Homo-oligomer: A and B are copies of this chain.
Amino acid sequence: MAPASPQPIPSAAERFGTALHLIPELADVERVIRATFTSDVSPMRDIPEYLLSLGGKRIRPALTLLCAKALGSEKISQEIVTVAAGIELIHMATLMHDDIIDQSPIRRHKPSPYARFGTPLTLLSGDFLLTRAFGLCAKLDDEIVDATEQACIELVEGEALETPLHTDNHDLSSSLTIARRKTASLFRLAAFCASQITGAPSVTVAHMCEFGESLGTAFQIIDDILDVTSNEATLGKRPGLDIAERKPSIVNLLWLASGDPAAQRLRTPPSPDESEYVKHSLEHLRVSSVMTEAKALASRHAERAASALHAALNSSTTHNQQATEGLFAVLDFALDRMR
């Protein structure tokens, strides 16, 4: 008989897939989301449905459900499902409004809702989803309502701070503030709501918030990295948009801080055709120490997230090992995207 082949180590993507099997309730979240697309005015159903059909990792609802399970919640309550749906609806609303703000033609290889349905109906669909999200969350406890309001305010503030590099004097610190507000706010909200609704002690809730915020910040840094290192097939849109549009991304700010003279053009208004500059910048950046630094920064935030998660679980009276591994798989999956 042939000797048993050694057990292959599962990839980050496989472990993430396994984690998703722990939360079949994600299908309930999807049902709650779809149930809010109720209107006799067809674009208010069709545009949200179109955005949902473009796919996505549903990482915020997955995080909500996994956090609740990791803290020992055997049965996922309706409140958890509701809040997970609400958070994803807020995220969807901001994607619609973002595409208008950035005039983005493409999302996930397809025309963005903005490109397909135009500004008026996309803007209104975003308002529609924001209203539905609040309709869901308003019925929950005051702490959840307050946290949801706060997260939405931070999100909007983060986007308002995201002015181009040639109009404002951004630095790495302001760039991290933007990442924290525009992206980490909803990750933090997911972790907060899950632990709060599960009835975790306040120290555990605080650690979970730190976990969500650090994970979300890492996630945004990685998004900024992928804009340089990835390709159109994976990104679903052209790489280098942060350079072309002079975004105050983490990578752009690290590049500027490096003293590289080629980065200085980021401080000037974009010209009608930025393709040559983007092409050269990407070639140069991909092999530069700027990316090493950016990846190190993402890793540091991921480590902070891991420590906070350990602290949260250690301070919790109950926890579930499998779901905890699922959360680490989410973290690894996020990091794996930048490798």
Contact = CB atoms under 8 A, between A and B. Distances in A.
Contacts of A43: 160
28 contacts: A39-B157, A40-B157, A44-B153, A44-B156, A44-B160, A94-B127, A97-B127, A101-B123, A101-B124, A120-B159, A123-B123, A124-B159, A127-B130, A128-B153, A128-B156, A128-B157, A130-B131, A131-B152, A131-B156, A132-B149, A132-B153, A134-B134, A135-B146, A135-B149, A137-B138, A138-B138, A138-B149, A139-B142
A119 interface: yes
A160 to B, nearest CB: 5
A145 interface: yes
Interface string A32-47: 0000000111011000
A102 to B, nearest CB: 9
A156 B127 contact: yes
A70 to B, nearest CB: 28
Interface of A: 39-41, 43-44, 93-94, 97, 100-101, 119-121, 123-128, 130-132, 134-135, 137-139, 142, 145-146, 149, 152-153, 156-157, 159-161
Nearest to A146: B135
Given A134-B138, A152-B131, A160 B97 contact: no
Given A127-B156, A134-B149, 15 more contacts: A39-B153, A39-B157, A43-B160, A100-B119, A101-B124, A123-B123, A124-B160, A126-B127, A128-B156, A130-B131, A131-B153, A134-B138, A135-B146, A138-B145, A139-B145
A160 B41 contact: yes
Which 10 pairs across A and B sit closest by C-beta, in order of nearness? Answer: A138-B138, A135-B149, A134-B134, A41-B157, A131-B152, A101-B120, A138-B145, A128-B156, A124-B160, A127-B156
Contacts of A142: 139
A160 B101 contact: no
Contacts of A134: 131, 134, 138, 149
